[in-house]
Amino acid sequence: MVWPHGFNDLRKAARRRLPRFLFDYVDGGSFDELAIARNVNAVRAVALRQRVLNDVSQSDLSTTLFGQKLAMPLMLAPVGMGGMLRRRGEIQAVRAAQANGVPAVLSTVTLCSADEITAATQAPFWFQLYMAKDRGFVMDLLAKVKALGCNTLFMTVDLPVPGPRWRDQRSGLSGPPGALGQWRRWREIVTHPRWTWDVGVQGRPHTLGNLVPIMEGKVKMADFLRWSGQNFDPSVTWKDLEFIRNHWDGPLILKGIIDPEDAVRVADLGADGLVVSNHGGRQLDGSVGTAEALPAIAEAVGERLTVLIDGGIRNGLDIVRMLALGAKGVMIG
């Protein structure tokens, strides 16, 4: 067995292990997936100035973000349905992050609930929020994660409605409906026995733990996709940040900022940070690459906010590139 030595090796291993509908869900983007390619190309286009004969024998990669000491300027980004990739995958991710001295940001739509993750890991976590139409549910969820020890909140602002992801429709994750879609999924499940045993059998229950109180017992993937389309709130505007601030007194970071004017509004509204992000190219396929957007945003608000970035980052050298452009840390997911 050859161990993966980089992103491309990991991607090949994931393609072999995962049913196609899950690999495409993680790997794909919206429409023609141009934004994914643009993210990667924008990062790789950053040329570094090389200086030599400096003493680097005592290099220190650590930093402090939102009051927490990090071993390096890296965070695990929120990944929806991560528990479908490995058995109770979000628990594994939090344990890995803790072992390496970096934070994990849990998605609203994890398989494992925040309660289960806390009980299994005894580790602190940061949390990402999708704004639902039911504000009572949002308030209850914020109160729950705060009671579990979370003190840092990421609010995703670039998903008012789910983007059209053609790969998910072709693979059977989000279509076609009925027997044809089921057949496509089951064909992949039976041809990936390691995943079937690890996740399909031993990784149950396949519920979206944080959404159990609001999904009325509906737990299948099709139910989640239908629920998200009906319950993510497309009417959210800047004024709704006041609602979040009234129910969250810790650090607040807005995730999904790509324009300097929006970045200034984030600062004016009293947030603590932002993530330069286009949702990994999974929403607006015509957007600029995040590394293209970063310098102007860092110049506009870098003295007022903690600026983070995701999208197209594949290795440690890419982290250096993003720090050179003005980010204080990067997220990978």
Of the CA atoms within 13 Å of residue 251, those in its CB half-sphere come to 19
Residues 256 and 278 sit within 8 Å (Cβ to Cβ):
yes
Q: How far apart are CA 245 and CA 102, in angstroms?
A: 26
Across 82-179, the runs of DSSP E, i.e. the strands, are: 105-106, 126-129, 153-156
| Of the candidates 260, 289, 318, 257, the residue with the CA atom closest to the CA atom of residue 35 | 289
In 3-state terms the chain splits into helix, strand, coil percentages (rounded to 5) of 45, 10, 45
Q: How far apart are CA 98 and CA 121, in angstroms?
A: 9
Report the SS3 class of residue 328: coil
| Of the candidates 72, 150, 163, the residue with the CA atom closest to the CA atom of residue 105 | 150
List the catalytic residue out of 5, 192, 247, 279.
Answer: 279
Instruction: Count other C-beta atoms under 10 Å from residue 3's C-beta.
Output: 6
Residues 17 and 195 sit within 8 Å (Cβ to Cβ):
yes
Q: How far apart are CA 36 and CA 312, in angstroms?
A: 7
Q: How far apart are CA 47 and CA 117, in angstroms?
A: 40
Query: CA angle 213-216-218, nearest 5°?
Result: 110
| 279 noted as active-site residue | yes
Radius of gyration of the CA atoms of the chain, in A: 20
Cite the active site residues.
279
